[in-house]
Amino acid sequence: MRRPLLLLACLAGACATLPRADLGVAPPELARWRDGVNWQDAGKEAAQLLSGYLQVNTANPPGNETLGAKYLAGLLDKAGISSEIVEFAPGRGSLIARLKGNGGQKPLCLLSHLDVVPADAKNWAQPPFSGLIDDHGTIWGRGALDMKGMGLIETLTLVWLKRLNVPLQRDVILLAVADEEVDNRGMQFIVEKYWPQIDCSHVVNEGGMGIRDAMTPGQTIFAISVAEKGLLWLKMIAHGKAGHGSTPIPGRAPDRLLDALAKVRARHPEAIWHPSTRETLAQVGHGVGGVTGYVLTRPLLQDWLAEGQLMKNPGTRAAMIDTVNVTGFGGAEEPNVVPAEVWAQLDCRLLPGHKPADLLAQLVQIVDDPNIRFEVLYQAEANASSWDDPFYRALARHAVAGKPDAVVGPVLSPGFTDSLRLRPLGVRAYGFVPFATTQDETGGMHGENERVSSDNVRDGLKVLFSAVVDVAALPGQ
């Protein structure tokens, strides 16, 4: 069907409509626990404690995550909560803490990572490890969003459960792990040595968050990551005869590498919809209404939209195709010497259901050069969790509670987190930092001027605590 005819058919009512999400209601008998917290005072406390946490330099490399683990352990100890710090190497510690429930359900885990990426102070408006709270209530520091802010409100969720003596039908476990930003050795160590004792059914971790004005002015979209793309990290290595740089000679390694990269960059992978993408677009559509809402709530018109806007946006495009991204080069030493071997580093991300071996075979076929070989650095398949789940719904409904201009929906994350290791163990993992940020603020993650507002820390603590109460507190007590 031609596109104009498709549009006419849909306008005539031929397109099925995706429904508005049913997030359920919070158990009314548990409201007293949320009402038992003075959220203004709790927010002020959280802001000050996050400021202190951001002053603990856990930049990785080298990490020194034990310092961060000790800071959180100190907060727990003051509340009467015991914890354990386990190290996979000296100074590379992870924190485990537990509030016991009655064992009626498997534990719920609150997961964060202690390490942060490095920061160059000369490019920041405020020192990156100052934890400065400015006159506007903005808290500055590396890790404010990724992900010490989340780790702090997870810690305080345990603290408030303890302060209020909330009876629990399941254990609530705090995990703050080392080395997420580089090699994931902290989570690997936890899984190998401690998982039988943890064995949680659900985890909340980093992933999605709220973005203001993401698609339409005035609307905040809270994205909860329910799936993560797989990954295939490669070296593409070209071979040729070494020689002097003064005379260009065809067939040498650098030219072969450039030709191979040109072939790879010319690929046009098919756009594939993950169900979470359709679901979230539909919820955005229900929120905005009008013509935009009509388009976003109908799958056939979503397809039409994908051919235009979605595939032109790097973020949405990355959630719809297998990506191959060049991240670096190596091999040359002197400007007047053509080396016999040069290489490019490739970061490939795969949609759920796509296997790293298949993409590698596809790249070999595309390049079609016996003087190019590929070395696999790391690989892992994509995985996902169902969002038809009580914990997902609890996170979602509290994210938008009292916010008429906000919507929430599941997303496929182009990146990967420690959740990728947990889902194969049977864990339902959701990535959600309950802050509502601007696109400029999110640019601080792994970038310059990372920061978070005190209001976000207060509201995020309320959202997370409320969701945990909904699924972990013992009803009727």
DSSP string, 330-370: E---STTEE-SEEEEEEEEEE-TT--HHHHHHHHHHHH--T
CATH of the domain at 413: 3.40.630.10
Indicate the SS3 state at residue 227: strand
State whether 87 and 182 are in the same domain. Answer: yes
Which residue shows structure tokens 């009008």? 290
Name residue, tokens 């405020």.
126
Q: What pLDDT does 345 receive?
A: 98
Asked if residue 127 and residue 275 are part of one domain, the reply reads no
Structural domain contains residue 67:
yes
Amino acid at 349: R
Residues 340 and 420 in one domain: no
- What's the CA gap between 320 and 402, in Å, rounded? 32
Q: Are residues 190 and 59 in the same domain?
A: yes
Give the closest residue to 26 by CA, choosing from 470, 471, 475. 470
pLDDT digits (tens, 9 = 90+) for 166-212: 999 999 999 999 999 999 999 999 999 999 999 999 999 999 999 99
With contact defined as beta carbons under 8 Å apart, do 346 and 234 qualify? yes
Peptide bond before 445: cis, by omega within 30 degrees of 0? no
The 8-class DSSP code of residue 23 comes to -
Closest CA relative to residue 299, chosen from 321, 279, 322, 270: 279
Residues 220 and 294 in one domain: no
**Of 468, 477, 435, whose CA–CA distance to 37 is shortest?**
468
- 206 and 417 Cβ atoms separated by less than 8 Å: yes
In a domain, 399, yes or no: yes
Whether residues 368 and 453 fall in one domain: no
Q: Which pLDDT score is estimated for 215?
A: 84
- The rounded distance, in Å, linking the Cα atoms of 377 and 355 is 15
Please report whether residue 131 resides in a domain.
Answer: yes
Question: Cα–Cα distance between 269 and 265 in angstroms, integer?
Answer: 11
| Domain termination residue (choose one: 333, 359, 380) | 380
SS (H, E, C) 247-277: CCCCCCHHHHHHHHHHHHHCCCCCCCCCHHH
Per-residue tokens: 467: 């969701």
pLDDT value of residue 309? 80
Compute how many other C-beta atoms are within 10 angstroms of the C-beta atom of residue 353: 11
What's the CATH code of the domain at 308? 3.30.70.360
Residue 173: the pLDDT is 98
- Partners of 98 in the β-ladder: 173
Domain boundary among 317, 347, 380: 380
127: in domain: yes
Q: pTM, whole model, 2 decimals? A: 0.93
Domain that holds residue 235: 230-380
Asked if 158 and 185 sit in the same domain, the reply is yes
Residues 168 and 294 occupy one common structural domain: no
For residues 332 and 216, state if they share a domain.
no
Cα–Cα distance measured from residue 398 to residue 405, given in angstroms and rounded to the nearest whole number: 14
What does the pLDDT read at residue 15? 66
Residue 287 in any domain: the answer is yes
In a domain, 11, yes or no: no
Together in a domain, 258 and 326: yes
169 and 284 inside one domain: no
Domain end call among 339, 362, 380:
380
Angle at 23 between CA 22 and CA 28, to 5 degrees: 125
Per residue in 310-346, pLDDT (tens digit) is 888 888 899 999 999 999 999 988 999 999 999 999 9
Residue 285 lies inside a defined structural domain of this protein: yes
8: Cβ–Cβ under 8 A, 6 or more apart, which residues? none
Token pair of 286 as six digits: 């229900």
Q: Which segments of the chain have a pLDDT < 50? A: 1-3, 5-8, 11-12
Sequence-distant (6+) residues with CB within 8 A of 357 are: none
* Peptide bond between residue 62 and the one before it cis (omega within 30 degrees of 0): yes
186 and 71 both lie in a single domain: yes
Residue 10, pLDDT score: 52
Rounded Cα–Cα distance for residues 444 and 431 (Å): 19
Rounded Cα distance between 362 and 364, Å, is 5
Number of domains in the chain: 2
Integer angstrom CA distances of residue 109 from 188, 195, 205, 400, 433: 16, 12, 9, 22, 14
How far is it, in rounded angstroms, from Cα 397 to Cα 344?
45
Question: Nearest Cα to 86, choosing from 189, 169, 179?
Answer: 189
Between the alpha carbon of residue 369 and those of residues 114, 239, 242, 278, the distances in Å are: 44, 10, 18, 39
Does 14 reside within a domain? no
Residue 306 main-chain phi, psi, to 5 deg: -60, -35
